[in-house]
Structure 1
């Protein structure tokens, strides 16, 4: 996570637009969150009452649903954000860095969030604690998160490998490589992702490739989606042994302190697959 502090340029314009000058980041009391995972992290560390607006997809916890919505996955409502007089905006770096540039130019502090791996989320929780004045609670939440990951790794990472196809949508049929959050979760659970080595984080893939790999488990976003696509190939190990499993997308696709719960659910599904013998190639 990176904080962009206001520069000297346009300070007069900021003063004209905002009745009060932006406060220092560590004193942030009027926060705009631009993604669901950021909103959830802020509430988790006790800074929920300081959040004055979120994006349209922020739906957890329930209190966040009542806040003004100033962004979606395509754009920001800059006028509405300015009217709320935020002293900190927290954005998703890869998706929103360009969108928040006008706010940065107006001197509004912007912090960027983008955890790259499972452990880095704990670091971001602690950093948000620094920015919002909730250092102790953030450290406690981060510690609990790290402990949950460590427990999962101790339980599952050395289990017998299980081959996995992680399905994202269809059509087009997509999946994940080892660098993604979902790919990291599969590995932590002792799974072998059949697309782990893809150079693209979210590759498109043909059904022929999946059939050739014959994974023991196929994971997807819903039972109906999985059944409608894969049951036409009953010879697949995953179909033959009933290992077509929906995953907890809220917890696995939205990187938050609740993510370990979603990972544990995934690990338990892979554990079921270990009860069936692997078919010969």
Structure 2
């Protein structure tokens, strides 16, 4: 009887040992989940599923706004190529320039061996094909609103492994936007015109960042009835609508003096009351984190009394 009990005890110990062995064989992966590679996947603004085996380590940015996003979320050290239009932050001046919006140096981009190229807009089908043939993943973004910009920031955060910082940037943007809106919400709405170009006269209509910024900043865009985001605008209609605030990008050839010399402009309230403001063109037009600074600039132009 004692022998039988001993055999049963030994059998039980063997079974328990086997179970323990099976369990311990899987524990390293459970204890250290980083050993298991997780595929990164997002969908870009053109419905393309972007897949990376790991966070991008070498990136070429084909737009200043995308470059600003990368630096803002802490991925600046991964950027190996930028455009000739890139000028912010200061560090981009030391990064390889791969061309401008009139064309890219494809050979240079491929030679940089990036694992990710980020487009503003869909980009050239032929260029994208060349990149993909070289094993380079291409992601394309075309944000049209501030919320779209925030979405782009978070997606680029995923692709670069900087999700936490990207979310932090977005939360800061939301907080700053809400603060600006709260300052102007009870103030009188003013009629605003934004001059994109002077000859022919062009403005920012519905669907443009400027239109959204004007509305959020407590203004009424007098070109809200335009049929495109950046239309030509009739001078007579402009004079008739009589804007109270006149906004101009600081890279324009228009000056306050040339504006006053235009026939009929002496009757515009904004001109008569010296409510003409030159805004930082990059801040108010680039679809990046600084777009909120653009909102603040426009809000202060429309309502100088706010802090």
Is the Cα contact below 8 Å between 2:196 and 2:203 reproduced in 1? Answer: yes
Deviation (angstroms), 1:95: 5.1
| SS state at 2:98 partner | strand
Unaligned runs of 5+ in 1: 7-23, 275-281
Distance 1:177 1:25, change over 3 A: farther
TM-score between both structures, scaled by the size of structure 2: 0.78
- Classify 1:224/1:74 alpha carbon distance in 2 versus 1 (closer, same or farther; 3 Å): closer
Distance across 1 between alignment mates of 2:53 and 2:116: 7
Equivalent position to 2:197, from 161, 164, 169: 169
Give the equivalent residue in structure 2 for 1:43. Answer: 71
Q: In angstroms, what is the RMSD of aligned CA positions?
A: 2.1
Q: Structure 1, residues 187-208: CA drift from partner, whole Å, max 9, x if none?
A: 0011111111211110111322
The structure with higher relative contact order (CA 8 Å, sep 6+) is: 1
Matched residue SS, 2:114: coil
2:235 maps to 207
Distance change >3 Å, CA 98–CA 182, structure 1 → 2 = farther
Which residue number in structure 1 is paired with residue 111 of structure 2? 83
Structure with greater strand percent: 2
**TM-score normalised according to structure 1 size:** 0.85
Q: How many angstroms does 1:26 deviate by?
A: 3.8
2:92 aligns to what? Answer: 64
Match of 2:284 among 239, 248, 252: 252
Q: Does the residue aligned with 1:230 lie in a helix, a strand or coil?
A: helix
Which aligned runs of 4 or more in structure 1 are off by greater than 4 angstroms? 3-6, 94-98
Specify every segment of 5 or more residues in structure 2 that has no aligned partner in the other structure, as ranges: 1-42
State how far apart, in whole Å, the 2-side matches of 1:220 and 1:231 are. Answer: 14
Q: Is the CA contact (8 Å cut-off) linking 1:91 and 1:97 kept in structure 2?
A: no
SS in 1 for 2:198: coil
The separation in 2 between residues aligned to 1:227 and 1:107, in whole angstroms, is 51
Deviates further, 118-127 or 75-84: 118-127
Q: Which residue of 2 aligns with 1:269?
A: 301
Q: Secondary structure at the match of 1:234?
A: helix
Alignment partners' CA distance in 2, 1:196 and 1:226? 25
Q: Given the superposition, is the C-alpha separation of residues 159 and 26 from structure 1 closer, same or farther in structure 2, using an over 3 Å criterion?
A: farther
CA radius of gyration, larger in: 2
